[in-house]
Structure 1
C-alpha cells in the first residue's frame, strides 16, 4: 500500500512518493534522471537528457494558449541525503520510509527531500494531465544543485523559447522570492602527520543541536557543531598529554551541522581535568544557546586505556587553530532589506582522514565583492596554517528586477485566490535563477513553494495542506493569458 495515496493533490503526492522511492542524493542522480526521461518518453513528450543527467521536457500549449508566452518550470532532482546516526538505511541504494502525521509528510530517520522533490512532483503532475490549460511548458530539472549548482551551470538551454520562469525551490507559502544571494564552496586540506601515544582515550562529542539549512536558517544563529567542537578542542589543549586521533562532523557543506565528535587522548592522571573542561564548556555554551538552540549538550565517554595513533603536536595545533579561528555564521546583515542576511558562511563538514584534515564551507552573499572578500579571508587563514584552499561551485546572485510583469501577475493571482497580498522578498539561500538568467537574456524569474520545515535535516517536514494550495496557485498562474 502506498503511504501517500490518500493525500491531495493525488497526482502530486503519487509522483512525490515515486521520487522518494528512488535514491537521489546529490551525486547519485542517474536513476532519478533516467526515471524522468522514461516518464517523458512514455507520454510522447520531447525530452533531452544531457551528459550531466539534467533533464529538459517540453509540453506544447493546450488549445487556446498557442499564442501565450511560454513558461519555464524549474527545480532540481537531487536532495541533501542525511540520516540519523543510528539509522540502518543506505541512502545511496534505498528509498525513503515515508510517514504521515497530521498535516505533515516526513521520512523516518532521514531527510525527506521535499527540497526539491516537490518541485519535480508538481512538474510531473502537470505534464501528465491533458485537461489543464497552459501555454507551452518548458520543464528544467537540474542535477546536483545542493553541492554547487553544477547542473544549472552546465546545462544548455539555447533551445528554449520561454522568457518567464517559475522556480519551485522555495519553502515558504505566501512569499514570492524575487532575488537571492550568490555563493561558493570552499575546501580546506591540511596535510597531517601521525605518531603513537599512550594514555586514556575518550570520545568527546557535540550533540543535540537543531541544525538546518545554511541559507534559510543561518540568521537564527543556531549552534554549529563543527565550530563548537573546535572551541572545545582548543580549550582541551591545556590538559597534560592531550592528543587528537580523530575528528568528524557534519553531513553537507550547506547544512548547519548538528553533531560532531573527536577521539582524544590524555595522560591517565589527567582524566578529571578533561571532564572538568568539558563540563565547564557545556555550562557556558548552554547559557549562550539557551534560546537559540536549547537542546545542546556535550558528552565525554571513556573508550579505553592504551596506545593510540595521534596527530603530531604540530599537526594537532594547526588543525585546532583552523577549527577554532575560522569564521562561521552571519557576517553581515543587509542595510537595504530589513532582516535579510547579506553575507554568511557555514563550516559544514570536518573530517580527519589518513593524509589530511578536510574542512568544507558554504559561503553566501548578496554582494559579489563581500563574497570575494570572505573567500580571500578564508584563504589568508588557510595560508597561515599551511593549508591548501580550493574554491568550487561558484554561482552568481539573482538580482532583483524593479519591473517584472510576470511577478506582478503572480502577485495579483495570489491575492485573488487567497485574499492577501504575497510578500515579495529576496532570500539568502542560493537558487538556480541567477545561473539560468545568465543563460537566457531578459528572463523574468520568481520562486515559490509550499511550507517546509527543517530542510536538510532528519526533522524535515512538508505541509500537506500547503502543498495543495501551492498546486492550485501554480495551475492558476499557468492558466493566465
Structure 2
C-alpha cells in the first residue's frame, strides 16, 4: 500500500503536536472535502467526514507526542522500518490517519472520525459532539498487527503542586544530567520496567546529600521519563556513575529549595511502575507513571498518570497516590476515564476473520493503555467497536519505529472491511 505510506510522509511535514494541531486539522478538513466528503468540526477539534451511506466508521487521532526535535520530523527508512531522526515518528496515530485518507479517496461509502488531543487525556473522545452514521467503529490506534483489541485500561492524571520559598546557601555547585535511558509509552512499555530518569536522579542527589537549586525531569505525562537534569549543591564531590554526567560549576551562593528534602523523599519513596498483573489477559493490570518532576522558580510540580484494566484498582491507586503526596503538597486528579471491559461482538468477529486471512495467528486482545473507542462506545448506544493497527515499537519516544510490511497488511484488512460494506 504505497499510497498509505505516501500519505504518512505528507502528514509528517505538518506540525501536529498535542495542543498544537490547528494546521493538521485544516489540512485534513480540506483533504476530506477534496474527496467529496461532508465535513464538520466540533468544539474540541474532532473532524467528522463522510460520504454515501457508510456502515463502518474508521477512527484515529491526529495529534502526536512530540519528542526530541519534533514537530520537525525527518523520516528514515531502514531495514523494513520507518523511524525519525532525533524525534518521535508520529506513526501513533499518523499511520491510522494515512489509511483513512486513502479510504476516503478510494471508497464511495465511507465515514471517518479524526479525533483531537488523544495523547493529553483523550480530550477529543471525551468531548465528542458529532453524531456518527455507522453502528460499527474501527479504531486504528493499536500497535500490533496480530491483535484485535476489544478492551483497554482506564486512566487518571494526578497533579502535585506546592510553593517553594528558597534558602540562600554557599557551596560547590554541580550540574547533574541523567541520559541514555529508553523511555517509552507509559502503558505499553511499563511491563518491561524501564529505568526512570527522575528516580535515578533523585536517588543520586539523596545519596550524596545534595540540596536542589533546580530539578527538571520527564517529558510528557504519558511517557516514561527519559531525561532529567538538576543543579545541586553537594557537601562532597559526587562520584561518576553510569548514565550520569556531572559538571562542576564552581563555588557560589545560590538559593536552594526549602522543599529539597521533602521533594527527594517523595520521589525516592514513591513506587513508580507496575503494581499488578492480569494473568488471564497476560497484560499489565495496574500501573502508575511518575512522569514529570520539576522544582524551580519557587514552584514544585509532579505529574503522574495511573492506569488500570480494573475499575476498583484504578480508583484505589488514585486514592492511595493522592494520600501519599498530600503529606507533602497540594494534590488533585483530573481526566478520569473508566476501563473498556473486554467484550466480543458480531463486528469484532468479522474483523478477526479478515485479520486471520492475512495472519492465521491473529486473536483477541485487551491493552494496558487508553483507547478512544472505549469512550466513544460508551457515548453512542449500540455502537460495536474494536481496534487494530500496524506494528509500532517504542511509541512516545525518539526510538519509535513502524514496520512497513505491517502497514501493508493492516491497510489490506481495513480496506477489505470497508469494501465488505459498500
Band of TM-score, shorter chain: over 0.9
Please give the secondary structure, in 2, of the residue aligned with 1:212: coil
Q: Distance in 2 between matches of 1:199 and 1:450?
A: 54
Q: Distance in 2 between matches of 1:144 and 1:25?
A: 9
Counterpart for residue 392 of structure 1: 334
Q: Distance in 2 between matches of 1:416 and 1:146?
A: 32
Counterpart for residue 480 of structure 1: 420
Q: 1:218-259 deviations in whole A, cap 9, x for unaligned?
A: 00011111122222233222xxxx321111111111111112
Q: Distance in 2 between matches of 1:15 and 1:429?
A: 26
Q: Distance in 2 between matches of 1:416 and 1:171?
A: 19
Q: 1:84-110 deviations in whole A, cap 9, x for unaligned?
A: xxxxx4x4xx54111111211111100
Q: 1:328-356 deviations in whole A, cap 9, x for unaligned?
A: 1000111432x211100101111223131
Counterpart for residue 13 of structure 2: 21
Counterpart for residue 251 of structure 2: 305
Q: Distance in 2 between matches of 1:42 and 1:429?
A: 34
Equivalent pairs counted in the alignment come to: 421
Counterpart for residue 417 of structure 1: 358
Q: Does 1:330 align with 2:322?
A: no
Q: Is the 8 A contact 1:172 1:451 kept in 2?
A: yes
Please give the secondary structure, in 2, of the residue aligned with 1:16: helix
Q: Distance in 1 between matches of 2:419 and 2:14?
A: 32
> What's the CA shift for 1:78?
0.5
Q: Is the 8 A contact 1:190 1:319 kept in 2?
A: no
Query: Which among 59, 62, 71 is matched to residue 51 of structure 2?
Result: 59
Report 1:282-301 matches (<5 A): 282=241, 297-301=243-247
Query: Which among 173, 190, 200 is matched to residue 201 of structure 1?
Result: 173
Q: Does 1:435 align with 2:375?
A: yes
Counterpart for residue 223 of structure 1: 195
> What's the CA shift for 1:447?
0.8
Counterpart for residue 86 of structure 2: 109
Please give the secondary structure, in 1, of the residue aligned with 2:233: strand
Q: Is the 8 A contact 1:395 1:434 kept in 2?
A: no
Report 1:44-443 matches (<5 A): 44-61=36-53, 70-83=55-68, 89=69, 91=70, 95-129=72-106, 132=107, 136-157=109-130, 159-237=131-209, 242-267=210-235, 270-271=236-237, 274-275=238-239, 279=240, 282=241, 297-312=243-258, 315-337=259-281, 339-385=282-328, 387-401=329-343, 403-418=344-359, 420-443=360-383
Please give the secondary structure, in 1, of the residue aligned with 2:119: coil
> What's the CA shift for 1:477?
1.6
Q: Is the 8 A contact 1:211 1:258 kept in 2?
A: yes
Q: Is the 8 A contact 2:47 2:114 kept in 1?
A: yes
Query: Which among 12, 22, 27 is matched to residue 30 of structure 1?
Result: 22
Counterpart for residue 66 of structure 1: none
Q: Distance in 2 between matches of 1:167 and 1:469?
A: 16
Q: Is the 8 A contact 1:147 1:393 kept in 2?
A: no
Q: Is the 8 A contact 1:248 1:261 kept in 2?
A: yes
Name structure 2 gaps, 5 residues minimum. Answer: none
Q: Distance in 2 between matches of 1:137 and 1:38?
A: 16
Q: 1:256-313 deviations in whole A, cap 9, x for unaligned?
A: 111212111023xx22xx32xxx5xx4xxxxxxxxxxxxx62232212221222112x
Q: Distance in 2 between matches of 1:10 and 1:340?
A: 34
Q: 1:185-227 deviations in whole A, cap 9, x for unaligned?
A: 1111122121221111112232221111111110001111112
Q: Is the 8 A contact 2:374 2:385 kept in 1?
A: no
- CA RMSD of superposed structures (Å): 1.6
